[in-house]
Structure 1
Amino acid sequence: MTTGLDGVIAAQTRLSHVDGERGRLILRGYELEQLARSWSFEEVVALLWQGLVSYPHDLPAALAQARIAAWARFAPLLPYLEGMSAIEGMRFLLATVPDQPAEATALLGSAGVAMAAAIRQAQGQAALAPEPGLGHAADLLRMLRGRPGNTAEVRAFEIYLVAAVDHGLNASTFTARVVASTGAGLASAVVAALGALKGPLHGGAPGPVLDMLDAIGTAPAAEAWVDAAIARGERLMGFGHRIYRVRDPRADVLKAAVGTLHGGRIALAEAVEQAGLKALARHKPGRRLDINTEFYTALLLEALDIPRAGFTPVFAAARTAGWIAHACEQQQTGRLLRPASEYIGPWPQAYQPDKVL
């Protein structure tokens, strides 16, 4: 019996392929590394949406207008975010977007504005309106931090958005496809996916990586700290992945992006990475546990001055493009996703499942 649906094929997709044995991520025929080198976020979104989603020819301009329209919708609602976490505030704002006539570009723009506004509100800061002359990555980073990014910062943030845009049939993407299969609409699919992402087993790992680095403190202390943590049976945050049996390809893309930024804790992170890999090889021989995307995601977002409580909403703003693509792909099948279950509870005395009464 497969309790977690591991290995069960629940959908056919043209969008992304996760090769866990060889550490490869393919997005519509392209290696992630190819896209991260030079593609803009809008170009990657257009690639994912090709043949699935109707969007204007000038997607950057359309997304800019979508952000402006989203701000007009969300600004009067911001006082209601009082007391909510950033991810809860983002969920609240997106839940106000109607399924009809919601369309993909408007929904992706709304996700970005909702993310930035909810993070700032949760930090006790005033949310900022979009600037239509900026690209999506540059505008989201400005709305998040309250100041524009320089060329290196915007490109690093854009690489993060590209690396996060889609990743096979993970829990939130599967949720989006299930909801889309009912005909509920794109906005409902995205809000449901966001609810799945909120769970710490799916979307909550990058922040604790920084907590671990805080506890270690300095590079010379890394080896002893890691050995002690493993001896206590604790999990090393940012190591291991449910799918990848080798290094997560997103980790190297994000590590390279962190390296373009000034400051940060890259030396400490590299020391912890090496200490962790050596310790895990000793304590868990025969089991390959390598760095995953959360490890250098944490370093990158911290270097960009994004608060830890905002890491999951930022991820959601990028992954919304993938959720939309999967939802539309599922809708094209015209098939309701309805898996079967095996009943293992007690039977009534007068009922015998192996007999016709």
Structure 2
Amino acid sequence: MPADKTLSHAANWLWMLKGETPSEDAAKLADVDFILHAEHGANASSFAARVTIGTDTNLHGGIVTALSTLAGPAHGGAAEDVMKMVQDIGTPENAAAYVKAKRKNREAVTGFGHRVYRAEDPRARHMRDGVKKLGEEMGAPEWYEILQGVVDAMKPYARHGLNVNVDFYSGVIYQLHGIPMDLYVPIFAIGRMPGWIIQCMDQQDSNILIRPLTLYNGPDVRPYTPVSER
């Protein structure tokens, strides 16, 4: 779809993707989603981009590296797994049993826990109400209800640092708009792109090859046995 210059960046993105002018609430939630997914420190994809730029390659190479790193389920690819989990649960009534079975088998519940945020991811709380409104607007409130069922079932594990993170709500936003799962990571990258570019430019300004040392923790020196004696 051709761009509509009368719309905001986020609203225009939805217009060009769907061919429908989004509601004010839907556009606002998309804007919040982009803002909350912005680059915020030395996360895996930003660091990977810096490593690439450190080899004196160009900006495009750094962004390709960042995108590849973002795609991993332990980083930006988690939204897809959350949506798959919601589909597996099916109805809000099944959420508690699903979580109980996962914890009994010592399996992770997708969308909970963060390497930095030990309490609730502060970004998640800014999406919760918007996701509820969007579900009601799109005539599919059950997706939000399933998410909240999982949140309620996970409350006993909050003391272990297993709190909801930003990826928990993102997938349902895209699902409600009918966006295919293979576009989730590229959408995440839209919000992350400005920060990646600044990270790369900063690395270029005072560049140095990033080559971390690794500590060997394997077996100690062992006696060599000649091949003829083995």
Question: Partner residue of 2:17?
Answer: 144
Q: Retained in 2: the 8 A contact 1:258–1:303?
A: no
Contact 1:241–1:292 (8 Å) recurs in 2: yes
- Alignment match, 2:161: 288
1:129-140 alignment runs, 5 A limit = 129-140=2-13
Distance 2:207 2:99 in 1: 50
Question: For 1:269, which of 147, 165, 170 is the aligned residue?
Answer: 147
Relative contact order, CA 8 A, sep 6+: which one is greater? Answer: 2
- 2:42 corresponding residue in structure 1: 169
Distance 1:318 1:180 in 2: 20
1:239-270 deviations in whole A, cap 9, x for unaligned? 11122111001110111321332244222211
Q: Deviations over 1:280-303 (max 9, x none)?
A: 36xxxx522110111111222222
Distance 1:218 1:334 in 2: 52
Does structure 1 retain, via aligned residues, the 8 Å contact 2:73–2:81? no
Give the counterpart letter for 1:240 in structure 2. Answer: G
Aligned match for 2:64, one of 191, 195, 207 = 191
Q: Is the Cα–Cα contact under 8 Å of residues 173 and 323 in structure 1 kept in the other structure?
A: yes
Mapped to 1, the partners of 2:223 and 2:105 lie a distance apart of 49
Matches of 1:270 and 1:160, distance apart in 2: 19
Equivalences for 1:201-350 in 2 at 5 Å? 201-261=74-134, 262=137, 263=139, 264=141, 265-278=143-156, 280=157, 287-343=160-216
Q: State the alpha-carbon separation in 2 of the partners of residues 321 and 173 from structure 1.
A: 11
Work out whether residues 82 and 110 of structure 2, in 8 Å CA contact, stay in contact via their aligned partners in 1. yes
- CA distance in 1 between counterparts of 2:146 and 2:40 reads 28
Unpaired runs of at least 5, structure 1: 1-127, 351-357
RMSD: 2.4
After TM superposition, the structure 1 = structure 2 runs for residues 41-56 of structure 1, keeping only pairs within 5 Å, are: none
Quote the residue 2:228 is aligned against. Answer: none
Structure 1 counterpart of 2:154, which letter?
Answer: G
Cα 1:179–1:133 change in 2 (3 A) is: farther
**Partner Cα separation in structure 2 for residue 337 and residue 130 of structure 1:** 40
- What is the distance in 2 between the residues matched to 1:270 and 1:343? 45
1:303 and 1:291 map into 2 onto residues whose CA distance is: 20
Question: 1:13-52: per-residue Cα shift (whole Å, max 9, x none)?
Answer: xxxxxxxxxxxxxxxxxxxxxxxxxxxxxxxxxxxxxxxx
Contact residue 138 and residue 148 of structure 1 kept, 8 A: yes
Partner of 1:86: none
Question: Does residue 1:156 correspond to 2:34, yes or no?
Answer: no
What secondary structure sits across from 2:124 in the alignment? helix
Query: Aligned letter for 2:53?
Result: A
Structure 2 unaligned runs (5+)? 225-230
What letter matches 2:152 in structure 1?
A: Q
Cα contact 1:254–1:300 (8 A) shared by 2: no
**Please, what TM-score do these two structures have when normalized by structure 2?**
0.84
